[in-house]
Amino acid sequence: MAQKNGYFKIDSSDSEHLQLIVYPPENGGERVMYKEAQGYLKSHQIFADEKQLQLALNGDSEKKIPLTGTLSYTVNEEVMLNVSPDSLKLYARFYPATDGGDQIGKDDIEKEMKLLHLRAEIKDDELNKFFNDRTYCTDYLIAEGKAMQPGVDGYVEYLFNTDSSRKPTVKEDGTVDYFNLNTVVSCAKGQKLAILHPEKEGVPGVDVYGNKLLPPKVNRGQLKFGKEVEISEDGMELYSKSEGHVTVEKEKVEVSGVMEFESIDTSTGNIENFEGNLLIKGNIKSGFRVSASGDIEVQGIIEAAEVTAGGQITVAKGINGRERAIIKSEKNIIAHYIENATVKAEGYVMADAILNSHVDAGDNIVVKGKKGLISGGRVRALKNIQAKVIGSTMGVTTEIDVGTDPEKKQRLIDLEQANVELRKMIDRIKPVLLATKKKIASGEKITPDMIAQTKVISEKFVQAEKELGANNAEIEVLKEQASEATNAYIEVEDVAHPGTQVVISDTRMVLRSKYNYCRLVIKDGEVGSTPL
């Protein structure tokens, strides 16, 4: 048997004693909600006892309950029209007439729709379902609008690996593979590099009120390309003009040469300002300089050398800087280990160990693998630092700093040091100017040389105070930015040893005891820990 919702009907056979007949649902149909029945009765200025009405609606058999109020007219069959939230569907819900009342027809529904400014065309087949069986308190979908179909933006499909992060993988035994990074994405001459997929316009729709539903404007894709890349005649594909290393930066595709060296030593000399990517199969020896606009991959070690890259720097065997190595990347730096070196990356830094080094990262620093050790030196990152072991049982000074851009942190240090010198200058000049002022006030004769000298000193004094004021204003901004970096953290997978200096944003703490398996964060304005 078919489902049938519960419904109700006013019994006005005895005009002195109105009643409401409540019919229960059948075969799993829906019950009438109290709010619906109450609202219907109220519209006719008649009322039911709340408790009796609730019991009748929740019952499983037909029930009659008394109504208060009078009816001076015959209640005809009624319809309630409801529009879906997206204005694309129109539902009709019908209520029965009292004895002798008129049944509703399509014309009546059309009149009701006109009053509500509804312009959708009625679905006769759906409406006839009601006319055929007169099922009340049930929603009939009698009209529908046409949904708007959004278009598709044009886009570029790149036919090469565009992942510039290329982080090393951690093996099952806990070691990290620093060799198979595939940092060089090779391409052949004439190789197809990218395809432009054209945009597709959307299809307008219309709601049940007759309002047009316009799709959002679609964006055209664009093929951007640079050196050693050409575009097809139809403007829809990019091809390599030569062999090399293909990259995409800010949606611009370029192919650059990959220069290979066995090692950087006396046989090669310095390699500076190379346009492209470098692959060094051996080591970069001490005292040499290497710089490239792209990536630099070193399959051996970097000794006490200077290495600068516009792209990523990867060092398979590590960096042994002998306190003279300076390694800088505008992207990321990945090395098996970093020892006695100064390292700076605008992206992230990843290593198995960092020893006695100054390491700065604009993103985060991850020191994992078998050792996962940071010991000695200063390690700073904007977002977070993750390591297994931090500090040393031997009392080696180790500073871990997160929450402030390393460049801004250094700028703050430089400004504060500059202010110390400016205040010393002001303190030296001020007494001289005061003494000169007193001489003038007492009428003492001042020679032209003294006047000229005083003018020079006075200008220095004014300039120093001006610089001091500007520095203080910038310091205030930098400190405010540092205090806002509340989400930075230091993650300790094993132990952070006592004596380690921890700085989060502008809050500093020296660890007095071991911290195990925890995350160091700012809690209530102080450095605290939460378990991993």
| Cα separation of the two ends of the chain | 58
Block residue for tokens 């679609």: 218
How many CB atoms lie under 10 A from the CB of residue 92? 22
CA distance 322 to 437: 56
β-strand 252-256 against 224-225: which pairing, if any?
Answer: parallel
Q: Which of 156, 166, 160 is nearest to 199 (CA)?
A: 156
Q: What is the pLDDT of residue 375?
A: 96
Which structure tokens are listed for 226?
A: 């640079």
- Phi/psi at 271 (nearest 5 deg)? -115, 105
Residue 180, pLDDT score = 57
| Contact indicator for 379, 385 with CB cutoff of 8 Å | yes
At 396-418, the pLDDT tens digits run: 899 999 987 777 778 888 999 99
**Cα–Cα separations (whole angstroms), residue 357 to 4, 341, 391:** 78, 5, 12
Whether the per-residue pLDDT at 446 is higher than 70: the answer is yes
State mean pLDDT over 144-165: 91
pLDDT mean over 94-105: 94
Q: What percent of the chain has pLDDT over 70?
A: 95
According to the model, what pLDDT value does residue 1 have?
67
Reply yes or no on whether the pLDDT at 63 is more than 70. Answer: yes
Q: Work out the number of other CB atoms within 10 angstroms of the CB of residue 447.
A: 8
State the Cα–Cα distance between residues 197 and 152, nearest whole angstrom: 10
Give per-residue pLDDT as tens, 467-488.
999 999 999 888 776 665 568 9
CA distance 435 to 454: 10
8 Å CB contact between 31 and 59 = no
In angstroms, rounded to a whole number, what is the distance separating the alpha carbons of residues 507 and 503?
Answer: 6
Q: Are 335 and 315 in contact (CB under 8 A)?
A: yes
CA quadruple 359, 361, 364, 370: dihedral sign: negative
Mean of pLDDT values over 257-283: 88
What are the extents of the domains in the chain? 7-68, 78-144, 155-254, 408-484
Average pLDDT of the chain, as a whole number: 91
Angle, CA 328 vertex, CA 270 and CA 392 arms, to 5°: 120
Residue 451's pLDDT band, with cuts at 50, 70 and 90, is: confident
Q: How confident is the model at residue 493 (pLDDT cuts 50, 70, 90)?
A: very high
The answer, yes or no, to whether residue 181 has pLDDT greater than 70, is no
